[in-house]
Amino acid sequence: MKKYSYSIVRVGNEYVVQANEKSVLKFASRRKAAKLVNDAAELLDSQPAPPTSPELHAEPSIARDPSEVS
């Protein structure tokens, strides 16, 4: 599961919530921006990790498929 790094940046009179340095939302209130970051982190932490397939971790192979060898 990908970990996100959240930050809140003040831009003029607004607060921009960033996830992995990408701007996500703007808020007029720092308190609301902080609540969003907290809620998002809790939701992501509560999700079970997706199942991983053994094929995803297998080393790439350049061997020929025996059914195709003539």
Q: What are 4-46's pLDDT values in tens digits?
A: 788 999 999 999 999 888 998 999 999 999 998 899 888 877 8
Give the pLDDT score at 41.
Answer: 82
pTM: 0.58
Domain coordinates in residue numbering, the chain: 1-51
More confident residue, 69 or 30: 30
The residue whose two tokens read 């192979």 is: 61
More confident residue, 35 or 56: 35
Give the pLDDT score at 11.
Answer: 94
Lookup: tokens for 36: 């969003």
